[in-house]
Amino acid sequence: MALAAPEVLTFEALEGGDWDALIVIGPNFSELDSDYQAAIQNAKMFDASVGETLSVLSCEVAPGNRLLLAPTGPLDRDYDDVRRFYDAAREAVARVAASGAKKPALMVTAVPTGALWNKALASAYFGFNQGNYESLEAREHHGDDVEPFATVGVVGNVDPSFVKSIEAGRRVARDICGTEPERMSPKRAAEYCQEAFAGTSVSVQVIDDRMQLEHEYPLLCAVARASFEVEKQLPAVVRLEFEGEGPIEESIFLVGKGITYDTGGADLKTGGHMAGMSRDKGGAAAVAGFVKALAGLNPKGVKVVAELAFVRNNIDNFAFVADEIITGRSGVRVRIGNTDAEGRLVMADPLAKLTEEAVSATNPSLYTIATLTGHAALAKGPYAALVPNKPAMSKGYVQRILDAGESWGDGVELSPSRREDFDFIRGRTKADDVLSSNNGPSATTVRGHQFPMAFLVAVAGLDKHGQNSDTPLPYTHIDIAGSGVEGGNWQHGKPSASPVIALAGAFLDK
């Protein structure tokens, strides 16, 4: 795998190396040395837009004589944040490549003071990698050099192993999320994980035996029912485990929705709404990405268990249908409301299993990550929605992720869980305990992205682990339907790897 790994440089080291361009990102360029100022003034004589727009200019003191100015725009408005550096770096990639540079170095300038701007250089590095990334299909067809750059220098103060590990995780997340449904079928997603974690201290277990799946994950198997006849579409649960050295101080349990293709099932997606549904595995992708980031850092005292539910939501004669009542792993009877609300079904049993394990773990917290609802995309735009239970609020887990998202520039927002969400999913008859979904589109359903969290709580048995129980378990559901791909464009947008940076910032930045 090609990786734009950072070499962290001092400014002086730039001159001695074989770097061939310097990219400077900032709201203005007035803090640069006088030699750079002279080059900028010279260039401005024939192009007044230099420094106001993305500009490449000749500069004798710059490596390769190439200076690239990438303005962030103003940073002093109430709504500006560190993502301005990310965006400017991402947008610079194509221009730097077009200039002929092969080995650029990146620096930031005129960064505002204050805690919210401390990660400007790291954010620029992540943005540059985002712009440099090409899909797995493109790399396998054209070769790794379809990506413009194999390396980038970072001038200034970042922890190279930390940002490099996060970026390795984001790369895994983008690959799993973005790849088309045949190349990233459940089986091949499992193989990808085995490869991605080979040689690390993360163990990978692939659960793909039908008997075992039906025993452990009955709701997941309902969704998979129309896939068991097709060898290459068989479901697989990938279990990732990591246990850091020393006494365990924190245990993190994650479940990812990995719908490798979502036809909607018997509630078929019609009217052109199916395209892009190979990306319905973005939650599993993000979980794998977070674990990959962790694998690069080997943190002491941390235990992580993750289950990725890779399933294709198909339609055929065997397909499950609305009105069926299916008993989940926890014993809760689920009335199917709509087969296109399949993500909560594939996650509920793994979440029930990890809840059982979390009860005896040290300082546990649980997460589900999913491209779950159009409602989240509408309500939150490019921000991941965090829907926590009370223990996750009171023990500070959600605040950790919110704070990390702000400082590292990976947008997350709070969506409190409310009583109406639990009313919404309650069983309507004595024949069932909960209803999986209503029948309208989530985007036009009141509290459409919050109520699925209530469903997951009820079906996983987490309702027995609330604030007032003997064993409260912090749990947060994370809906990335708006944040998982650039521009919210599920068919063509580049996967964003949301919320890998926020989670890494919250749990791995020691």
Site of interaction with Zn ion (CB under 5 A): 262, 340, 342
Angle between helices 120-132 and 83-98 (to 10 degrees): 40
* Token pair recorded at residue 480: 């990335």
Q: How far apart are the first and last CA of the chain?
A: 28
Minimum Å gap between C-beta 313 and Zn ion is: 6
Nearer to Zn ion, 8 or 370 (CB): 370
Going edge to edge, which strands form the sheet with 384-388? 203-207, 236-243, 302-313, 250-262, 364-370, 475-479, 384-388, 412-414
In DSSP notation, 45-110 reads: HH-TTBTTB-EEEE-TTSGGGEEEEEE-----STT--THHHHHHHHHHHHHHHHTT-SSEEEEE-S
Q: Which of 485, 478, 180 is nearest to 347 (CA)?
A: 478
Nearer to Zn ion, 216 or 262 (CB): 262
Minimum Å gap between C-beta 342 and Zn ion is: 5
Minimum Å gap between C-beta 167 and Zn ion is: 30
Nearer to Zn ion, 321 or 414 (CB): 321
Q: Considering 44, 95, 102, 269, which one is annotated as catalytic?
A: 269
Per-residue b or e along 127-156, where b marks 16 or more CB atoms closer than 10 Å to that residue's CB: bbbbbbbbbbeebeeeeeeebbbeebbbbb
Question: Active site includes 269?
Answer: yes
Nearer to Zn ion, 342 or 432 (CB): 342
Minimum Å gap between C-beta 444 and Zn ion is: 16
For residues 86 and 180, give the distance between their C-alpha atoms in angstroms, rounded to a whole number: 27
Nearer to Zn ion, 313 or 389 (CB): 313
Q: Residue with the closest Cβ to Zn ion?
A: 340
Peptide bond preceding 499 in cis form (omega within 30 of 0): yes
Q: Which of 398, 406, 383, 408 is nearest to 484 (CA)?
A: 383
Minimum Å gap between C-beta 439 and Zn ion is: 13
Question: Active site includes 344?
Answer: yes
Q: Give Cβ neighbours of residue 143 (< 8 Å, ≥ 6 apart).
A: none
Nearer to Zn ion, 44 or 269 (CB): 269
Q: Considering 344, 353, 380, 400, which one is annotated as catalytic?
A: 344
The strand pair at 384-388 and 475-479 is best described as antiparallel
* Coil, strand or helix at 402: helix
Q: Name the one residue in this structure whose structure tokens are 């030699």.
A: 35
Minimum Å gap between C-beta 285 and Zn ion is: 16
Catalytic residues: 269, 344
